Every structure is written in structure tokens, then in C-alpha cells.
A and B are shown apart, each in its own frame.
Chain A
């Protein structure tokens, strides 16, 4: 007889979610998690929020770059372009 894995409880499920999104869970754990998620709205909310934070982290391109820092680099670029040996 094939042993079935015990069902997950919420406290265990939350610890698998990042790996679930990474696609790095074993098939067995993935099935257990999906089964749990199908029955647990709270864990589904949790997963959705992890997804949302991941999406939000990539949504802003450039961070504030100090104008002075940018000026310095552009100055460097000009020096280099005009005289690559010195740059």
C-alpha cells in the first residue's frame, strides 16, 4: 500500500510557499501544498501576498540617483571618451 503523506497544516504551508513559487518543491510537497491551498483561503491570501510583494519589488526601475553622483560619472565618461588612455 502506498503511504500518503500527512496533510499540511497552515504553519507548515507558509514555509513552503517561496519554494513553491520558485518551482523547487518536490512533486510530493507541491501536491500537498496545492491540496492545502485549495481548502484554505487564509493560506491562499498569504501566497497571493508573497506573489504581490515579488511583483512589486521589480516594478520600480531606477532608484533615486544623487545628481552629484550622476554628474561625477558623466564627467568620467567624457574624460574617458576624449582620452581613453587617461580615463
Chain B
């Protein structure tokens, strides 16, 4: 069942529909709240406030954006009001040339000296794929902000760059730079851990 349909049922008092949406989105709501507020407890409060707002139907969902973008916007508006992180410093240094792959992996002419290691020999191996998925998720969870929020919203939740920029109060150009760094870091983590033979 799609999100909009679940919302409709929720508003009609269907508990199962509510539970389903909570299962789908509460973790992301809390993570996104942590971008704006300090501490898990505050983040959980903001997420809870967001669900209350949804139940009240205060901000009507009109289908102009996807359900999740609408939901995340409610959360961000509340998180900003809570605003325990007074002035967020966005660590994007425009002067940082920001190489995402260690220079040691290239020779003097910029060609690979230590080329990317294939994640796995067996591309279609379901077990290996499952492992890649797990490592990707663990890596995203360990990214520093704002990379974690940007990668979560863009790649895990599939929001557009414009939507991510709006939700996080960044420019689209910044979102692209941060996304680039975050993705490179996740790829690197997975490569390292697949090589390390972790199970």
C-alpha cells in the first residue's frame, strides 16, 4: 500500500496504517531531527511531535510533493523551532579541494596505482550482495554530518537534490559536493571491509 493511502486510513483511525508509516519513517525522522537538535531524546520528541501533527491533519497533505517530503518538512519545521543547536556550522569549506580518494592510490600522473578492489568476485551472489547492503547502511550511519543527512535523504530516501537542499537549509551546489564526498566515503568503507573479510 502506498504512503498516501496509508495516510488516508490513518486519518480515518486505522491503527495498522499508522503503525506501518511509523515503521517506514520513524527512524529517518529521528535521524533527520538529529541534524537540527542535540541528543536522541530531543530528536525523539521532535519525531513524536511530527506524528501528532500528522494525526491532527494540521498540515494537509495535498500531494504536491511525495508523502515523505511532506512528512520530513513537518519534522524540519518543528526541529528548527526547537532549535537547540543554535547556529549550525556547516563544515563545507569551499577552498577545500576535497579529494575523495587518497592521493596515495594514484601515481604521479594521476593514474590508478592501487585500483579499486572489486567488492566481490561473484556479482550475483545473493549473500555477498546482502553483505554489501549491510555495510553500506552501517557506513551511512557512521558518516559525519551533514554527509549523513544528505546521503540518507538523497540516496536512501530518494528525495531530489532540491528537496534535500530545502530540508537541510543548504544550497543545491553544496548538497552535490557533500553527496559526492559521502558517497565516496561509503564506497571506500565497503571496499575496505569487504577486503578485510569481515562477515
Contact B19 A15 (CB under 8 A): no
Instruction: Give CA–CA (A19, B173) in the complex, Å.
Output: 10
**Chain B residues numbered 146-192 whose CB sits less than 8 Å from any CB in chain A:** 151-152, 155-158, 161, 176, 179-180, 183-184, 186-187, 190-191
**Closest chain B residue to A62, Cβ basis:** B23
Contact B184 A65 (CB under 8 A): no
**Chain B residues numbered 47-63 whose CB sits less than 8 Å from any CB in chain A:** 48, 51-52, 55-56
Chain A residues, CB < 8 A from B39 = none
Instruction: Give CA–CA (A19, B111) in the complex, Å.
Output: 20
**B: interface residue count bin:** 35 or more
Please report A residues at the B interface, Cβ cutoff 8 Å: 9-12, 14-15, 17-19, 22, 24, 42-43, 45-46, 49-50, 52-54, 56-65, 69-70, 72-74, 76-78, 80-81, 84, 87
Instruction: Give CA–CA (A52, B26) in the complex, Å.
Output: 25
Of B71-79, B82-90, B130-138, the stretch lying at the interface with chain A is B130-138
Chain A residues, CB < 8 A from B112 = 10, 42-43
Contact A80 B55 (CB under 8 A): yes
